[in-house]
Amino acid sequence: MTRPVRTSPPPDATDREWKPTDDLPLLVLAALERDEAAWKQLVERLSGVVWHTIGACGLSSTDRDEVFAATFFRLFENLSHVREPRALPAWIATTARNEAHALFRSKRRLVPTDDLPVRDLFAGDHDESLLDNELLGVVIAEFNKLSPKAQSLLRLLTAVPSLQYNEISKLLDIPMGSIGPLRQRYLHQLRTALVPYLSDGTL
């Protein structure tokens, strides 16, 4: 393994002035007035938190697409009932989780089987060829070695727009007081695994 390549942070990682929830109220209003461009912006704005939530549910890639679309259909149907647009990230994360569980239930009924092979679904569900950055590839490889529970939590913690601890607690059904300590533990595990790959080795 060669030395890591520099990476660029996403705008939301460093820009503390702008929050991706700031213009949600305007986008919701415009979409309700049948402004399709506003709807597309709304989808783009919320796509990250939906995708990370679905990723935390241990679905195959095909099912992820299906649940992703179903989640936004649900949002569109409910758009006129949105009272607090800034709370949409939590609402849509819950909706995505529910859609994923509904899909699990239907698959369980259709194909009687043992518990879903969550670990298998998590592993190797990404396209290595897309990783042009070696360090990012290493991060994913080490991330995939973490437990499914750790992966789920870290996916939700890295969602954009971000989710609050109480929201993550509900989504994963773990006590809110455990999230901080678990976050520390899992990030420590990941950091320890990455030490050999980081330039100065002093992590």
Partner 1 sequence: MNFDPKTHNGLEALLRDALGAAEPIPARAMDAAFSAFQLGMVDDLLAELLYDSLVEPSPLLMRGSEGEARLITFANDHLTLDVTFLADRRTVVGSITPLFEGAVEVEIEAEDGGRSFAPTDQYGRFRAEMAADSVRFRVAGRLVTPWISR
Task: Output the six-digit token pair for 157.
Answer: 């913690």
Q: What's the min distance (Å) between Cβ of 52 and partner 1?
A: 7
For 129, which DSSP code? G
Site for partner 1 in 19-78 (CB under 8 A): 31, 36, 39-40, 43-44, 47, 51-52, 55, 61-66, 68-77
99 scored as a contact of partner 1 (CB under 8 A): yes
Instruction: Using the rule CB under 8 A, give the single segment among 17-25, 83-91, 169-177, 183-191 that binds partner 1.
Output: 183-191
d(CA 26, CA 22): 9
Q: Is 126 in the site for partner 1 (CB under 8 A)?
A: yes
Per-residue x/- track, 133-162, partner 1 (CB under 8 A): x-xxx-xx--x----------xx-xx-x--
* Binder of partner 1 out of 131, 148, 149, 174 (CB under 8 A): 131
**3-class DSSP string for 3-41:** CCCCCCCCHHHHCCCCCCCCCHHHHHHHHHCCCHHHHHH
Please state, as a whole number, how many other Cβ atoms lie within 10 Å of the Cβ of residue 139: 18
- Collapsing DSSP states into helix, strand and coil, what is residue 131? coil
> Is 10 near partner 1 (CB under 8 A)?
yes
